[in-house]
Structure 1
Amino acid sequence: MDFKNLKESRKVEFKSSFGKEVIITLVAFANTRGGKVILGLDDKGTVKGIELGSETEQKHLNDIKTSTYPQLLPHSAIYEVDGKTILVLEINEYPVKPVAYKNRYYKRVKNSNHMLSLEEIVDLRQQSLDISFDAHAVDERLSDLDTSLMEKFIEKVNSKGRISLLDDMVTNMTKLKFIKSGKSTLAGTLLFGNHGYSIHIGRFKAEDTIIDDLLIKAPLLTALEEAMIFIKKHINLSYEFDGSLERKEVWQYPLDVIREFLLNAVVHRDYKHTTDIVIKIFDNRIIFSNPGTLFGKLTLKDLEKDDYTSSIRNKIVAEAFFLTGDIEKYGTGFIRIRKKLNELKTVTYKISEIGDFFRVELLDARSYDLGKDPVNGFIDPVKEFSDVRKDVRNIANDVRKDVEKKFSLSKNQILILKSIQKDRNLTQENLSEIVGITLRNIQNNMKKLKEIGALKRVGSTKSGYWKILWDNLK
C-alpha cells in the first residue's frame, strides 16, 4: 500500500494514535460505505509511525468490539514504512444498521464524521431491515377509508393488467398491504383516507407577491388530480396547426413531466415530517419542494445517470402508483424526463437538496433569452446565473484587492488602530509610548489614517475620542 500518496476522503482517515475518534470513524464508515483508518499518519499524511507492543493490536480490536453495537470487528494489518510502524483498521459497510458507539450514531460525509439525526437513524434501520415506512399500521380501519376511491383504484389496476384483483375488498386491500390486522396502514390512509398531509400550491408574480394559492388536503389519488388542474390553470397554453383540422395544444411545460415531478413528491417524501409539499409557480419556472432528502444511498449525481438504482422510502405507495400505470417502471422517471426535455429543447430542470428538503426547479428556457448551446440547444439558466454571480464575486474581490493595495497599512499604523480599538480615549502621547515612535511620527501616521478613511476624531480635542471606521481590521 502506498501510504505516501494517500489523501483523507470519504473512505480514508488518518490518525496519529488510537483513541475514541478512531472508533467513531469506524462506526461512521460502517454506517455509510465502509472505509479504513490508518494509524501512524498525521493530518497531512506524513508517516510518523506508532508504538505497537505484542498485545496492542488485539487490545485496540477489543476496545472497538466492546464499545460498539452491533459489535464491530475490523480487519487489521500492520505495515512497516521507512522503519516506522503503520496499523490499518478496515471495516466494510455493516449489513445491520445503524451501528452505535456508546449509544451515539455517526455517518461519513466527505472526509469527516457527523452525528446522525433521529430521522436518519430511523431511515437507516428501515433500509437495513428492508422495512417500508408506510407499512406501519395507524388507528384507522377499513371502514374509515373512502370506499368509492378504493373501487376506482381496483378498476384502474385491473384495466392496466399488471395484477388481477378480486371482487373481495378486504382481500384486495390486505394483499396490497393497505390494511394489516384489521387496521389501515399509513399507505392505505395516504391513498384513501384522511391522512392530514397537504400539498400547498401558489401562483407567484414575484417571490413576495402571490396571485393565487390552493391547499390540498385529500387522499393522494385525488390530490394529484387537483394539483394538476391548478397547475394547468396557471401555466401558458398555446396552439399549433399542422395542416389538419384539429389544432394541437402546446403547454409551457410538458404535462407528463409535471405529473412525474408530482408523483415523485408524494411517493418519495418523508412522511415522518408533517411539513407540506410546496409548489411555487412563477412566470418562467415551477419549484417543487418536498420534505425528505434522497433515500438510502441514492445521490443527486446518481439521478443524472441512466443506470441508477431506485431507492424507495414508501414502497407500498410506490407500488400502488405502479399498478395504476402512473409509475411506468421503478428507477426510470428521471431518465424519461431527461429524454423528453432533450427532445423539446425549450424546458430544462435542476435538482437539489436544501436542508431536509428535495427540490426540483422546472425552467422555461425560452424566457431567459440565453442564446444557443451546442449540446442542448439552450444554456441552462441556473448555470448561467451561477456564472454571473461568480463573475460579480470575482470583480468584487479584484476591487477589494485594489483598495487594500492602495491603502495598505504599515505596522505602526496597524498598531495605532489596534491600540485605539482597546481604548478609544488614548492621547497621541500615550500612543507614542505604546508604539515606540516619536510624537511627530504618531501625528503623521494618524493624519494618513484619517485621509484614507480608517480613523476619525469624534468631539473636541480634550473631551472627544477616536473612532475606527474600518470594520475589517485584522
Structure 2
Amino acid sequence: MIEIELQSLVEKIQKVKAESPTIELKAARSGCPTHLYDTLSSFSNQDAGGTIVFGIDEKEDYAVCGVYDAQDLQKRVTEQCNQMRPKVRAVFTLCNIDGKTVVSAEIPSLDVSERPCFYASKGRYKGSYVRVGDADEPMDENEIYGYEAFRKKYEDELRPVERAGIEDFSTVKLMEYKAKLVEGRPNLAKLDDSRVLDLMGMTKDGAPTLAGMLILGEYPQAFFPQLDIIATVLPGTEVGEAGVSGERFVDNQRIDGTLDQQLQEAMDFVRKNIRTSVTITKEGQRVDRPQYPLDAVRELILNALVHRDYSIHIQGMPIQLQIFADRLVVTNPGGLYGRMTVDKLGKAQPDTRNPVIANTMEIMGLTENRYSGIPAVRYLTKVAGLPAPEFESKNGEFRAILRLSKSENLARKLSRRGTGLSELAAETNNPISYGAPGIGLGMSAVQMLQEKDSHRNPEAILEYCRIPRTRKELSEFVGLGSGYTMQRYVNPLVREGKLALGIPEKPNSSKQTYRAVE
C-alpha cells in the first residue's frame, strides 16, 4: 500500500463508518495497543489477510485522531508480530491527514500449510483466532484440526473401525467390488483378497477401515450412528416456520446405510417431495420437468457424501438435506479442504480430503472423479432456468443451495393464497398464455396453478377418499409432490372436517391415512 492508497482507505472507512472482515481500527493516540494477537492471528488465517489502521477513533465518529508516535508504534507492533507462530511480517504505510499521522499495518495471509497462526504464549489451541465479520473469535478444535489434517496429511478415512471385523462387510457388496476392481487391473487379479483389500484401503492390517465400512459394510451406522443424512421438508422459507396446520416438518427421514444406499434413498426423498410438471409436446410426447434438475441434486448429495469431514472430531454430525419452500440446501460437516476456496470451485483442481472413498466410488461406477461435478451443477441449473447455484464454506460447514426461479416463487406464493391465473395476470399487469407467458413463467409454474384438473378439486379428492388413503396414494392421485399435496389440498379438507385422520392421536405419523367424512 502506498500513501495515497492509505488516504483513500481512510476516506472509505469514514464514509461507511464501520470495520470489516479485513479492516481493524485502533486509535493509538496515547500508546500502542497491547493485545493485537487476536487480530494478527485472524488476519493471518484468512485468505484475504487484513489491514490494521492506527489513528482513527471509532468513538469519535471515526475521526482521524493521529497516533502518539509513528516510529515507536511500528516497533511495538513488530514486537507483537514476533510473538506469533509463525511470525507475522507486517507491512507498514504512513500518511498525513490534516496534520495528523495515520499508520497502517498490512497483515499477509499465511499459506494453508502454515496455518493456524497463533499467539505463542497461549499455544495453538487457545491462541488461534478466526475473523467473523468485524470480530476476532477463538478457533474451535475442529477448525484447528482441519489445518493440521491438511498439513500432516491425516487419513481419517483409513482409520481402523473398532469392534468391526471382515465379517461386517456385505458379502454381496464385497463380491461386486472385487469384480469391478479387477476389470482392467490384471496385477490386482493375481493377489489374494485380503492383500487387495489392504492395498485399496478397505482394510488395514485385516480390520475394516472407515472407508471400507461406509462402502462395503452390512450396516455402517452400527459403528457410526451419525454418519448418515437427515432429510427434511420444511413448510416455509426458514427453519422453525410452521405450516398451515402448525407442522414444523412436511416430511422428514433419517437416511442411513452405505454411501451408495444413502445416495439412492436421498434421491428418492427428493423425487417424492418436489413438484414435477408434465407438458405435452406438439408431437404428443410427455415431458416431465422437476422443480430442480435431479442430476444436479445428485451431484450435490454425492459431493457431500464423498468430501465431508470424516474425522473423529465431527463424526457425530450428519449431512443435512433440506427442502424449503423456495430452495433446496445440502450441508455437510467440514468446510472446503486445503487451498480450495469458494471462488475457485469448478475452476481449479482441488485437494481431495478422502481420496480412497472418491476412488472407490469411481470403481463402483457412482462418480466420475474428474472434478466435473460443480460445473455440471452450474450448467444444469442454467438450462433449467434456475438461478446459479450458491456455495458457502464457513463455521466448519460447506453448504450448497439451489433456488427456485422468480416465476416459480411467485407461483408458489400465489398458489398458497389461492390466486388463479386471471388474478396472476392482473397482479403482474401482464397477459398469460401457454405459448409466450407474459411474465416469463415456465410451463411448470403455469401448470402448477391449473386447479381445474379433475384430480385437484376437493370433490374429486373426497370421492377418492371414500376408502382410507395414504399420503403416497393421495400424492399420486393429485399428481404433485407429497409435501405440496398435503399442504395445498389435503390439510385444508382436514381442518374443515371433511377428511378424518386414521390415526388422530399422531397427525404426523408416516402411516397416517385419510378418509372422507360421510
User: Do they superpose with TM above 0.5?
Assistant: yes
Unpaired runs of at least 5, structure 2:
14-18, 237-242, 412-431, 446-518
1:106 to partner: Cα distance: 0.4
Change over 3 Å in CA distance of 1:89–1:198 after alignment to 2: same
Query: Partner residue of 2:319?
Result: 277
Distance 1:192 1:15, change over 3 A: same
**Structure 1 unaligned spans of 5+:** 382-474
3-state secondary structure, aligned to 1:104: coil
Task: Look up the match of 1:173.
Answer: 197
Query: 1:35 is matched with which residue?
Result: 50
The question of 1:81 aligning with 2:81 is answered no
Corresponding residue SS for 2:82: helix
Is the alpha carbon distance of 1:341 and 1:171 closer, same or farther for their aligned partners in structure 2, counting shifts above 3 Å? Answer: same
For 1:397, the equivalent position in structure 2 comes to none
Seen in structure 2, the aligned counterparts of structure 1 residues 353 and 153 have a Cα distance that, compared at 3 Å, is: same
Counterpart residue number, 1:105: 128
Alpha-carbon separation, structure 2, partners of 1:20 and 1:323: 57
Aligned with 2:142 (options 119, 122, 138):
119
Where relative contact order (Cα < 8 A, 6+ residues apart) is larger, the structure is 2
Structure of higher CA gyration radius: 1
Does residue 387 of structure 2 align to residue 317 of structure 1?
no
The DSSP-based 3-state class of the residue aligned with 2:64 is: coil
CA shift at 1:317, angstroms? 2.3
Asked if structure 1 preserves the Cα contact closer than 8 Å seen for 2:386 and 2:404, the reply is yes
Letter in 2 for 1:341: T
Q: Is 1:24 paired with 2:64?
A: no
Q: Which residue of 2 aligns with 1:48?
A: 66
Give the stretch that moved more between structures: 188-197 or 369-378. Answer: 369-378
Q: Report the RMSD for the aligned CA atoms in angstroms.
A: 4.3
Is residue 2:288 matched to residue 1:250? yes
**Alpha-carbon shift at residue 262 of structure 1 (Å):** 1.7
Note if 1:259 corresponds to 2:298. Answer: yes
Deviations 1:298-347 (A, max 9, x none): 555555xx525545443432333344443334543222112123223379
Structure-2 change in CA distance of 1:373 and 1:123 (3 Å): farther
Task: Decide whether aligned partners of structure 1 residues 149 and 286 sit closer, same or farther in structure 2, where only a CA change above 3 A counts.
Answer: same
CA spacing shift, 1:163–1:373, aligned 2, 3 Å: farther
Note the alpha carbon deviations across 1:52-72, whole angstroms, 9 max, x for none.
Answer: 567x75554344323x3x241
Contact 1:30 1:99 in 2 (8 A): yes
The answer to whether the Cα contact below 8 Å between 1:203 and 1:280 also exists between their aligned partners in 2 is yes
Q: Are residue 185 (structure 1) and residue 202 (structure 2) matched?
A: no
**Deviation, structure 1 residue 48:** 0.6
Asked whether the 8 Å contact 1:36–1:88 carries over to 2, the reply is yes
Q: 1:228 to 1:61 in 2, by over 3 A?
A: same
Which of 249-258 and 217-226 deviates more? 249-258
Number of positions where the alignment pairs a residue of Structure 1 with one of Structure 2: 372
> Against the structure 1 CA distance between its residues 177 and 71, is the aligned structure 2 distance closer, same or farther, given a 3 Å change threshold?
same
Compute the displacement of 1:113 (Å): 1.9
Change (3 A) 1:60 1:324: same
Query: Aligned ranges for residues 200-215 of structure 1 at < 5 Å?
Result: 200-202=230-232, 207=243, 208=247, 213-215=252-254
Of Structure 1 and Structure 2, the greater strand share is in 1
Among residues 24, 41, 56, which one is paired with 1:13 in the alignment? Answer: 24
1:419 alignment partner in structure 2: none
Distance 1:264 1:240, change over 3 A: farther
Q: State the percentage of identical aligned residues.
A: 24
Match of 1:93 in 2: 109
Provide TM-score, normalisation by structure 1: 0.63
- The one-letter code matched in structure 2 to 1:199 is I
Q: How does the TM-score come out when normalised to structure 2?
A: 0.58
In structure 2, the partner of 1:442 is: none
Task: Note closer, same or farther for the CA distance 1:241–1:110 as it changes in structure 2 (3 Å cut).
Answer: same
Q: Is the CA contact (8 Å cut-off) linking 2:91 and 2:107 kept in structure 1?
A: no
Secondary structure of the residue aligned to 2:383 is helix
1:143 Cα deviation after fit: 4.5
Q: For 2:349 and 2:438, how far apart are their aligned partners in 1?
A: 30
Verify: 1:217 aligned to 2:240, yes or no.
no
Question: Letter of the aligned partner of 1:4 in structure 2?
Answer: Q
